[in-house]
Structures are given as C-alpha cells and as structure tokens.
Amino acid sequence: MFDKRLFVLVPSAKRHIITGVILQWVALMANIALFILIGLFLQQLLEATASPASVTILVGVATIAMTVRFVCQMMAQRMGQKTAAVAKSTVRQEVYDKLMRLGPSYRESIATGEALQISVEGVEHLESYFGSYLPQLFYAVMAPITLFACLAPLSLPTAAVLLACVPLIPLSIVAVQKIAKRVMNDYWESYTDLGQIFLESIQGLTTFKVFQADEARHEALNEEAETFRRATMRLLRM
C-alpha cells in the first residue's frame, strides 16, 4: 500500500530511500554471485577438476561477495533508520505548525487527546513505513527482474516460472487488504477513543471527585479499555 500524500509530505526522505534500495540491490547481486561461486565449486568437486589454485580463487571471491553483502545490508539498515528519523521529525513539525496556525480554536477541528496521539504514537508508526516498508516495496520491484536476468542464461524455464509467480505476492496482499484495513481502522478508533476519555478524565478528576462520579467514570474507562483490548487482539490475529 503506497500513500502518495505521505511520500510527498517528506520529500527529503526520497534520497535516503533510493540509496537504501540501491544498497539492497548491490547486496542481492553479491548474494547471486556467492551462490554461483558455490555452484562452480560443487561442479569442480563432482567433476574432480578442482585444483588448489581454483579453490583459492573461488574462496577469495566468495569472501569478497559475502563482505559486500554484509556491508550493504548493514548500510541499508542504517539508511532506513535515517529515513525514519527524517520522516518522523518532518511530520511532527508539520503537525505542530498546523496546530499553531489553528491556535486555541484547534479543538473545533480535533480533540486534544487525538492530536496528542497523532503527534506521538501516530508519528512513531511512520518508522516502519518509511524505514522498512517503502524501501522493501521498491526493492521488491527490482529484485524479480534482476533475478530473471541472472537466471535466464542458466535456465530460461525456471526464470520464467519464478517471474510469473511474482504477481501472486501483491495479489495475495490485495486479497487481505480490505479486511486488514477495516481491522486497523477499528483498532485506531478504539485507541483514540481510549486516549481521549483518559485525558478528559485526568482533566476533570477534581470535578468527578466533588460530584462523586469518579466510580462511574472508572467503569467507563474500564469499558473503553476492554474495547481497545479486543481491537488489539483482532489486529494481532490479523
């Protein structure tokens, strides 16, 4: 699921995402080279044509491939963390600027509890989206094409079968997306409702105590907490 609004909202993250995808692609190429070297080594063993010089060359090149793969994967992970940090900082600043422009009248547009949850917990959810999901999304487009190009000279039928099976992945995601979206919406609605009623309860605690309504409020909070627990369990099952 690609959200253009979020992607446009954080233009500075594009460079980090592209860099991360390129690093993952280089790691993939190193991994392909490593398996080709393993295949060549096994072929030489089976054909009894292995010599100390050829084995040394294969081991040396394989070591370089493993090192390149490790370094690229580590750098791609760090790039994802940097992307997530930039995205969270940018979105938090946008939310803050929006609230400042609205002034005290922001409560007419959004509840205080919901604004707090969006600024804190909601923005934290962007870490997975920008740091992991988007780089993997673009990488998932490049990887099958790269694998097909590398496998086709070795075995065209195998490469064609693998390439033909690639669309099954997004199709399976689309199949459950509607259910997952509904479950996620229920979870977030329960989460914001619980946060809002909790904040209101804290703000009006003195009033509840004066009018001896704190016990009723306590029961209402328990009901909201139970609703949120059920929504969380549904989300985890999904």
pLDDT tens digit string along 140-188? 888 888 989 988 988 899 888 888 888 777 777 777 777 777 888 888 8
89 vs 5 pLDDT, higher one: 89
213: region left, alpha or beta (phi > 0 left; psi from -120 to 50 alpha): alpha
| CB-based contacts of 110-118 (< 8 A; 24+ apart in sequence) | 111/192, 111/196, 112/196, 112/199, 113/192, 113/195, 113/196, 113/197, 113/198, 113/199, 113/200, 114/192, 114/195, 114/196, 116/195, 116/199, 117/191, 117/192, 117/195
Structure tokens belonging to residue 71: 């370094």
What is the value of pTM for the model shown? 0.65
Contact 95, 118 (CB under 8 A): yes
Q: Is the dihedral of CA 89, 90, 96, 97 positive or negative?
A: positive
pLDDT for the residue 70: 94
At 67 the pLDDT is 94
Chain mean pLDDT for the chain: 84
